[in-house]
Amino acid sequence: MPPIKTRIFSLISIALLCWSIDAHGQSSVDRVKAAFLFHFTQFVEWPPSVLPADKSPLVIGVLGESPFDAYLEEAISEETVQGHPVTIRRYKDVAEIKTCHILYINLPSGTIQTVISQLKGRSILTVSDKKGFLQTGGMIRLFSEDNKIHFRINQVAAQAEHLVLSSKLLGLAEIYEGKEGQR
């Protein structure tokens, strides 16, 4: 085979390899984080004004790069939480957010404060894994320690948005009390 053909052939095979990865290749860390988001929905009570008791959908939103892959999205869309079908929405910008109950914010730390201030008064449970997230008024921060994922809750911020977090959730969480360690 002439060398140019060989090279093209190897480029194609690399491209094929990559393609199949981009379709499925989420890291397990992201998948576990995504599962956490889904689980949080079961331990939060939203005001009836934002989540009526009928079968209105419960929306998990993602701002920035999504931790959900196609498989998880599909699996989640088959789930219901207390009678509410669950759907996932992706947003590029805060302005796009209409109905949303839990929002995963995956943006650079610097921009988070603005986002949170724009969400005030809409009873959206905010979650992120970014450092300093709770200081800026975020509600739940996921972090890893000892190769496991833990979460820390800013209860004051949640109460201010009229969200009721179950005692079970609070029991499993570390409670944020105004300052966060290095972790």
Partner 1 sequence: MQQFFIRGIALIAFSIILAPQRAFAQAQDTALDSKQLLSLSLEELMNIEIHSVSKRPEKLSEAASAIQVITQEDIKRSGATNLPEALRLAPNLQVAQVNSHAWLISARGFDAIFSNKLLVLIDGRNIYSPLFAGVSWDAQNVLLEDVDRIEVISGPGATLWGANAVNGVVNIITKDANSTQGFYMSESVGSLYKYSASARYGGKIGSKLAYRVYGMRNSYDTTYIKDKAGKDISQNDEAEITQLGFRIDYTPSEKSNVMVLGNFYVGKENARPEKSGIDGQNITGRWTRTFSPNSELVVQAFVDRTWKRDIPSLISEELYTYDIDLQHRFPIGKRHSLLWGAGYRFMRDEVISSTTFVGIVPNLRNMDVVNAFVQDEVMLWKDRLKLSFGSKVQHNVFTGFEVQPDARLAFMPNETNTVWAAVSRAVRTPSRFDKDYFLPFYPVPDSVPSVQGGPDFISETLIAYELGYRVRPCRNLSLSLATFFNSYDNLYSVEAVPGTQTYHIQNGGEGHSVGLELSGNYQPFEWWRLRGGYTYFHKEIRNKPGHNADYYNLGLDPEHQVVLQSIMSLPYHFQLDVAGRYVDDIPGAMGVSDYLAADVRIAYVLRQFELAAVGRLFNDDHSEFAGTYIPRNFYLKLTCRL
Please count the residues of this chain forming the interface with partner 1, following the rule CB under 8 A: 39
Cα separation, 158 vs 61, in Å, equals 17
Q: Is 82 in the site for partner 1 (CB under 8 A)?
A: no
Order of strands across the sheet that contains 148-153:
80-81, 84-91, 58-64, 102-106, 125-128, 140-145, 148-153, 174-175
Strand partners, 151: 142
Residue nearer to partner 1 on the CB measure, 32 or 94 = 32
The least CB distance from residue 168 to partner 1, in Å, is 8
Burial of 34 (0-12, 13-18, 19+ CB in 10 A): buried
In whole angstroms, how close is the CB of 75 to partner 1 at the nearest point?
Answer: 4
Which residue in 125, 135, 114 sits closest to 181, CA to CA? Answer: 135
User: Residue from 3, 5, 92, 146 that binds partner 1 (CB under 8 A)?
Assistant: 146
Interacting residue with partner 1 among 24, 49, 92, 167 (CB under 8 A): 24
What sign results for the dihedral spanned by CA atoms 91, 92, 94, 96? negative
Which has the closest alpha carbon to 138: 166, 112, 167?
Answer: 112
Is residue 122 within the footprint of partner 1 (CB under 8 A)? no
Of the candidate spans 38-46, 92-100, 123-131, 155-163, the one that interacts with partner 1 by CB under 8 A turns out to be 38-46
Compute the distance between CA of residue 17 and CA of residue 75 in angstroms, rounded to an integer: 25
For partner 1, the binding residue among 51, 62, 63, 76 (CB under 8 A) is: 76
Is residue 148 within the footprint of partner 1 (CB under 8 A)?
yes
> For binding to partner 1 (CB under 8 A), which residues are involved?
14, 17-18, 20-22, 24-29, 31-32, 34-36, 38-39, 43, 69, 71-72, 74-76, 79, 144, 146-150, 168-169, 172, 181-183
